[in-house]
Amino acid sequence: MGVYYAEACRAVEFKQFKSVEISTSVGKEREIITTQFYQALADSVTARLLPESESDLRTAVEVLDVNSWPQDMPVEFGEVEIRFLSEKFLVPMSEVKNEFRDHKDSRGKTEMGRSLDIL
């Protein structure tokens, strides 16, 4: 049992979380479903760290993850995303494009160049 799950269970038991009262419902109180709790926690953290308004950024960054690359990669794979990232982080597209192409050609076996590291 995780620390936060145990804290949530204690809050329900004592009907108070930090200084906030927890209201009780009429009927039988149910135990917190572990999987539902952790999914809600993960969703909450994701929403705070990377809001929906930044979904384009998340999608673009995935192109840098070798594990997300398709088996049969088209030549133009990742070009649009790399352009988006270079504009967002003000890194010259010419440098980023060449480094990404080299990295892509090696199927991620070579280290990313300095410009890709910045992204």
Residues 14 and 65 grouped into a single domain: no
Terminal CA-CA length for the chain: 37
Residues 39 and 58 grouped into a single domain: no
Digit-coded pLDDT (tens) for 91-111: 888 888 888 888 888 887 877
| pTM over cut 0.75 | no
Residues 5/38, Cβ–Cβ less than 8 Å: yes
72-98 mean pLDDT: 89
Residues 18 and 60 grouped into a single domain: no
Digit-coded pLDDT (tens) for 19-48: 888 776 666 667 778 888 888 888 888 778
Residues 32 and 78 grouped into a single domain: no
Query: What's the distance, CA 11 to chain centroid?
Result: 29
Helix, coil or strand: residue 16: strand
What pLDDT is attached to residue 84?
Answer: 93
End residue of a domain, out of 26, 49, 72: 49
Digit-coded pLDDT (tens) for 5-15: 888 888 888 88
Residues 31 and 64 grouped into a single domain: no
Residues 9 and 36 grouped into a single domain: yes
Residues 37 and 24 grouped into a single domain: yes
